[in-house]
């Protein structure tokens, strides 16, 4: 049977990481790339692996690509800290590793169950939510589209049948922990192809997003969770385009002249690079990612 590595990038994930690692401990090696967490994340990771690397946060794509580069197994599975590999998915992956042929796929997408507020949400675009996570080492890498990178590779692809479990927003507060940084990254990415924000972008697009998620994608069938997800998707769209307007209208230049910092902080995952002082304060451990 061929071997497999699990690649995980983390920052302050002490509430998630143990269950994540527990579900992946059957793999041949676990690689953790930590962006200098200030909680117990690294301490917990040490119980499961010695292959822990600390480096400044440079974006989801660069962090995950670095983790992939550290892998030594035949295959790599990318896993997020708030995801779990159920036993049925484990067996399906193992069967793939046991039955490799010259014409076999080199990468596999996996369906994902997304849990919001303790409920598996089946509609509103939340399932099957395919993610390309399993691939033969060396066939490709993630691109630089933040915050939702795509894996670019050469060769045939396949689809797994058993879903990955994703325990995403457990509370309403969880939405806002990611909201600021994710909308900023999304606005920056959208700005690569769109230079002008119009009234319709701020008014019509959010309304259409709610309609798409709640009506077209049957979010109403999931009750209150489906409604809340649709509302947050609409909010995400509005804030993304509002920030894009800010970036393209000269407001950013005004902020810079006024000395107003645009650095945003998060307790989930950072996207700004820590400064030198941050590194000096960090405790070195001696050891060693849905578009609306």
120 — pLDDT class (breaks 50, 70, 90):
very high
Q: Is residue 264 assigned to a domain?
A: no
**Residue 255: its pLDDT value, please?**
59
Q: Is residue 278 assigned to a domain?
A: no
Q: Is residue 152 assigned to a domain?
A: yes
Domain boundary among 167, 192, 227: 167
**Residue 259: its pLDDT value, please?**
60
**Residue 168: its pLDDT value, please?**
92
- pLDDT of residue 18 exceeding 80, the answer is yes
- Looking at the structure, tell me whether residues 48 and 162 fall in a common domain: yes
Encode pLDDT of 217-234 as tens digits: 999 999 999 999 999 999
> Once rounded to an integer, what is the mean pLDDT over residues 91-115?
96
What is the share, in percent, of the chain residues with pLDDT greater than 70?
A: 85
**Residue 19: its pLDDT value, please?**
98
Encode pLDDT of 233-284 as tens digits: 999 999 999 999 999 987 655 555 556 554 444 444 444 444 444 434 433 3
Nearest one of 151, 147, 124 to 138, comparing CA atoms = 151
Encode pLDDT of 39-88 as tens digits: 999 999 999 999 999 999 999 999 999 999 999 999 999 999 999 999 99
Q: Is residue 34 assigned to a domain?
A: yes
Q: Is residue 291 assigned to a domain?
A: no
Q: Is residue 276 assigned to a domain?
A: no
> How far apart are the C-alpha atoms of 163 and 128, rounded to whole Å?
8
- Looking at the structure, tell me whether residues 25 and 145 fall in a common domain: yes
- Looking at the structure, tell me whether residues 16 and 128 fall in a common domain: yes
- Looking at the structure, tell me whether residues 161 and 179 fall in a common domain: no
Encode pLDDT of 122-180 as tens digits: 999 999 999 999 999 999 999 988 888 999 999 999 999 999 999 998 999 988 888 89
Q: How far, in whole angstroms, is CA 262 from its chain's centroid?
A: 23
- Looking at the structure, tell me whether residues 193 and 113 fall in a common domain: no
pTM of the model: 0.83
- pLDDT of residue 292 exceeding 60, the answer is no
- Looking at the structure, tell me whether residues 131 and 241 fall in a common domain: no
- Looking at the structure, tell me whether residues 127 and 152 fall in a common domain: yes
- Looking at the structure, tell me whether residues 181 and 138 fall in a common domain: no
- Looking at the structure, tell me whether residues 36 and 152 fall in a common domain: yes
Nearest one of 181, 122, 173 to 15, comparing CA atoms = 173
> How far apart are the C-alpha atoms of 24 and 265, rounded to whole Å?
30
- Residue 216: how many other CB atoms lie within 10 Å: 11
Domain of residue 10 covers: 4-167
What is the share, in percent, of the chain residues with pLDDT greater than 90?
A: 78
For residue 32, the domain's CATH number is: 3.90.550.10
Domain boundary among 167, 191, 208: 167
- Looking at the structure, tell me whether residues 205 and 71 fall in a common domain: no
Tell me how far CA of residue 112 lies from CA of 85, 122, 256, 290, 292, in angstroms: 10, 10, 41, 12, 17
Nearest one of 153, 158, 157 to 139, comparing CA atoms = 153
**Residue 226: its pLDDT value, please?**
97
**Residue 124: its pLDDT value, please?**
97
Domain count, the chain: 2
291 — pLDDT class (breaks 50, 70, 90):
very low
Q: Is residue 116 assigned to a domain?
A: yes
Q: Is residue 117 assigned to a domain?
A: yes
- Looking at the structure, tell me whether residues 116 and 239 fall in a common domain: no
**Residue 251: its pLDDT value, please?**
63
Q: Average pLDDT of the chain? A: 88
- Looking at the structure, tell me whether residues 117 and 208 fall in a common domain: no
């Amino acid at each position: 049977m061929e071997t497999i590595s699990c690649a995980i990038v983390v920052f302050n994930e002490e509430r998630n990481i143990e269950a994540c690692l527990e579900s992946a401990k059957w793999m041949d090696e676990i690689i953790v790339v930590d962006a200098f967490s200030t909680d117990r994340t690294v301490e917990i990771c040490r119980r499961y692996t010695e292959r822990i690397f600390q480096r400044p946060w440079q974006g989801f794509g660069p962090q995950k690509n670095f983790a992939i580069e550290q892998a030594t197994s035949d295959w790599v599975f990318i896993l997020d800290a708030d995801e779990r590999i159920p036993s049925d998915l484990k067996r399906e992956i193992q069967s793939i590793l046991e039955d490799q042929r010259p014409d076999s796929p080199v990468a596999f997408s996996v369906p994902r169950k997304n849990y919001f507020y303790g409920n598996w949400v089946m509609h509103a675009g939340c399932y099957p939510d395919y993610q390309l996570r399993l691939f033969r080492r060396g066939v490709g890498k993630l691109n630089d589209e933040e915050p939702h990178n795509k894996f670019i590779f050469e060769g045939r692809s396949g689809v797994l049948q058993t879903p990955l479990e994703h325990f995403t927003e457990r509370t309403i507060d969880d939405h806002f922990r990611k909201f600021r940084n994710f909308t900023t990254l999304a606005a920056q990415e959208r700005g690569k192809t769109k230079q002008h924000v119009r009234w319709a972008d701020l008014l019509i697009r959010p309304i259409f997003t709610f309609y798409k998620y709640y009506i077209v994608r049957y979010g109403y069938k999931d009750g209150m969770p489906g409604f809340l997800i649709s509302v947050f998707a609409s909010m995400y769209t509005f804030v993304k385009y509002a920030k894009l307007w800010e970036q393209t209208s000269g407001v950013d230049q005004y902020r810079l002249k006024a000395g107003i910092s645009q650095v945003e902080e998060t307790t989930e995952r950072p996207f700004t690079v820590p400064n030198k002082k941050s590194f000096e304060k960090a405790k070195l451990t001696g050891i060693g990612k849905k578009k609306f």
